[in-house]
Chain A
Amino acid sequence: MPIIRVRNAWKRFGPIVAVAGIDLDVDEGECFGLLGPNGAGKTSLIRMVIAASPLSGGSIWVDSSNVTKEPRHIKANIGVVPQEENLDPDLTVLQNLITFARYFDIPRTEAKKRALANLQLFELDGRQKAKVDELSGGMKRRLLIARALINQPRLLILDEPTVGLDPQAKHLVWQKLRSFKDQGVTLLLCTQNMEEAWYLCDRVAIMNEGKVIDTGQPQELLAKYGGKRVLEARPHPEARDFVLQELTQAGVEWQAVEDTLYIFQDSHQVLEGNLLEVLNVLSQHIPTLEDVFLRLTGRSLRE
């Protein structure tokens, strides 16, 4: 029984379709990543899952409860780390956690115990009495996660948890998320950071324009879409038509960004010598999840 079940979910904002009929299952205990460019509908989908935004169509169940019918019950049992920092600036670090615990009806002594433990876990115990505004970006992000754990959720939903963090803080967050997963917490992670997805996720769904393009283990998707290697080439403008024609004929997948071509070469595909001559290959590399992402969602800039 999946812990999150999304069936034909739609989200419309007036004429704009943010989520266009998504089906998704997240299994208990896994770390599931939602990948997609800006405007792909990841945050809209997440907001529907956490009952912060009503569905325009379809259904979502979290832990067998319907989000539309039992939002309170669902919200009581999940942890949410929003993309936009929304700590309470009128309260200190410790008060933030204790006050948040009160929203869950956690008794004060227990709340304080958990708050102190969580601060320690995220190496914030020295800043208990600090105001939120005095914290660095990395500390605020850690405090947000510590806050999301105050009700000891079995499902933790994170929207871009490491955006804007320095490498040290990022790795600390990743390490903690891994350890929660080891303790059996299910993670639903929304990210644009392919390294993060690769490092943390058991499965990912790649989203674009409100739809899920494909779902699978990162390795699976890499094998399926990455090919053997990725060539970055910048053919002379006059040779461009010839190059594209040849590539199409050879059945090779490619993507163009301005004057640069990204060519996804499979192991059985061979590029002819006369093509290679005019191709002007700048570099080649072993495909990564990022190449898969770009191949599936396109390289054009998103708004």
Chain B
Amino acid sequence: MGISYRSWRVWQRNRDVFFKLWRSEVPGFFAEPLLILLAMGLGLGAYVTMEEGGRYIEFIAPGIVAGYAMSSASFECTYGSFVRMHYQKTYDAIIATPVNIEDVIAGDIFWGTTRSLLTACAVLAIASPFGLVGSWWALLVLPLVVLAGLMFSSLAMFYTSLSPSIYTFNYYFTLFITPMFFFSGVFFPLSAFPTIVQHLSWISPLTPVADLTRALMSGHPGEGTWWGLAIMVGITAVSFPLSLRTMRKRLLK
């Protein structure tokens, strides 16, 4: 047992559905981050002076790349996966073929990862004409976002595997995802908080993503806290196999 190349088949299924229904996907995953970037960056940014210098929109652009990479993956592997598993019985149909349950779950996680990447690309593409992508180092944001997508998809999938109903996801977003947006250095620097909160914010898996994205997009990779990568790898290494196990337990009865 375990995962095989067949998880790719599940990824392909999700990709096909995405391109079939892409019109309905645009508002949530592309328009919203752009709206926030422009409204906060240009609107609020007019009143904000950064201590370190630079424009506010330059500060939040990397944060939005990171934050929406997180929410794309999280939505996909909570609501998206739960609907396929529970309401549409798509998982049941697929596991009657040579594709096994681990392939299905991994395929969904890889697709969540792809959604993160697509969202990040869209935000980068729009940010770039505003002069917000300062260097070629920004290209490294893409592999970073892939790792972040894998991490957040795995965490979301683990939560999904334990969720009794779709309403449970309100807790995931209200208690986990939304606080991360505010305490991970997305909209304002961590230095704005008392020292204790600054330390605590590194519990949030979004903190290293936002920090490293900012270092790369600004063209100063040396300013990044690179040991944050170890946090991301560590969380992924635990939550990815864990979600496969808990899903197998839930579905193979």
**A84 in contact (CB, < 8 A):** yes
Secondary structure call for the A interface: loop
- Interface hit among A68-76, A114-122, A188-196: A68-76
- Which A residue's beta carbon lies closest to that of B89? A86
B98 at the interface (CB under 8 A from A): yes
Interface of B is mostly: loop
Confirm or deny: B21 has a beta carbon within 8 angstroms of a beta carbon on chain A. yes
**Beyond A52-B96, A75-B97, A75-B98, is A103–B252 a contact (Cβ under 8 Å)?**
no
Q: What per-residue 1/0 map shows which CB atoms of A1-35 lie under 8 Å from chain B? A: 00000000000010000000000000000000000
Say whether A53 faces chain B, with CB atoms less than 8 Å apart.
yes
B88 x A100 contact (CB < 8 A): no
Q: Which of B9, B12, B93, B94 has the most CB of A within 10 A?
A: B93
Interface residue B32 (Cβ < 8 Å from any Cβ of A)? no
Q: A103 contacts B16, CB within 8 Å?
A: no
B90 near A95: Cβ-Cβ < 8 Å = no
* Residue A87 at the chain B interface, CB threshold 8 Å: yes
What's the minimum C-beta distance from B19 to chain A, rounded to whole angstroms? 11
Given the known interface contacts A82-B92, A103-B9, the answer about A91 and B97 at a Cβ–Cβ threshold of 8 Å is no
A173 at the B interface (CB under 8 A):
no
**Least Cβ–Cβ distance between B10 and chain A, in angstroms:** 8
CB < 8 Å neighbour of A86 from B9, B21, B90, B100:
B90
**Given A53-B252, A104-B97: A99 touches B13 (CB 8 Å cut-off):** yes
Most buried by A among B12, B13, B89, B98: B98
Residues of A within 8 A of B253 (CB): 13, 53
Contact B12 A88 (CB under 8 A): no
A103 engages B97 (CB within 8 Å): yes
Partner of B97, one of A13, A53, A54, A76: A76
Q: Which residues of B contact A76 (CB under 8 A)?
A: 97-98
Which of B5-21 touch A at CB < 8 Å? Answer: 6, 9, 12-13, 16-17, 20-21
B81 to chain A, nearest CB (A): 13
CA distance A281 to B205 in the complex (A): 78
Contact B88 A89 (CB under 8 A): yes
The answer, yes or no, to whether A50 is at the interface (CB within 8 Å) is: yes
Give which listed residue, B1, B21, B92, B94, contacts A103 with CB less than 8 A.
B94
Residue B95 at the A interface, CB < 8 A?
yes
CB-defined contacts of A292 to chain B, threshold 8 Å: none
CA distance A145 to B149 in the complex (A): 37
| Chain A residue contacts of B20, Cβ below 8 A | 90-91
**Chain B minimum-CB-distance residue to A147:** B93
Contact call B99/A103, Cβ cutoff below 8 A: yes
Q: Known interface pairs A53-B252, A86-B89, A90-B20. Does A102 touch B96 (Cβ–Cβ under 8 Å)?
A: no
Residues on B with beta carbons closer than 8 Å to the beta carbon of A103: 6, 9, 94, 97-99
A95 to chain B: which residues have CB within 8 Å? 16
Contact A88 B88, beta carbon cutoff 8 Å: yes
Asked if B95 and A52 make an inter-chain contact with CB atoms under 8 angstroms apart, the answer reads yes
Contact of A88 among B93, B99, B252 (CB under 8 A): B93
Q: Is the CB of B252 within 8 A of A54?
A: yes
CB distance from B251 to the nearest CB of A (A): 9
Q: Is the CB of A72 within 8 A of B252?
A: no
Whole-angstrom distance between the alpha carbons of A170 and B20 in the complex?
Answer: 33
B61 CB to closest chain A CB (Å) equals: 33
A50's contact among B12, B88, B96, by CB below 8 Å, is which?
Answer: B96
A76 vs B97: C-alpha distance in the bound complex, in angstroms?
6
- Cα-based distance from A54 to B88 in the complex (angstroms): 23
Min CB distance B195 to A, Å, is: 49
B residues in contact with A85, CB < 8 Å: 89
Bitwise interface map of B from 42 to 71 toward A, beta carbon under 8 Å scored 1, else 0: 000000000000000000000000000000
In the assembled complex, which residues on chain A have CB atoms less than 8 Å from the CB atom of B97?
A: 75-76, 100, 103-104, 151
Known contacts A103-B9, A104-B97; 16 further A-B pairs (Cβ under 8 A): A52-B96, A54-B252, A71-B100, A75-B96, A75-B97, A82-B93, A84-B92, A85-B89, A86-B89, A88-B88, A90-B17, A90-B21, A90-B90, A100-B93, A100-B97, A102-B12
Contacts A/B (CB < 8 Å), 12 sampled: A53-B253, A72-B98, A73-B98, A85-B89, A86-B88, A88-B88, A88-B93, A90-B20, A91-B16, A95-B16, A100-B97, A103-B94
Mark A residues whose CB is within 8 Å of B. 13, 50, 52-54, 71-73, 75-76, 80, 82, 84-91, 95, 99-100, 102-105, 151
For the complex of A and B, 6 pairs with smallest distance between CB atoms: A86-B89, A103-B97, A86-B93, A90-B17, A76-B98, A80-B96
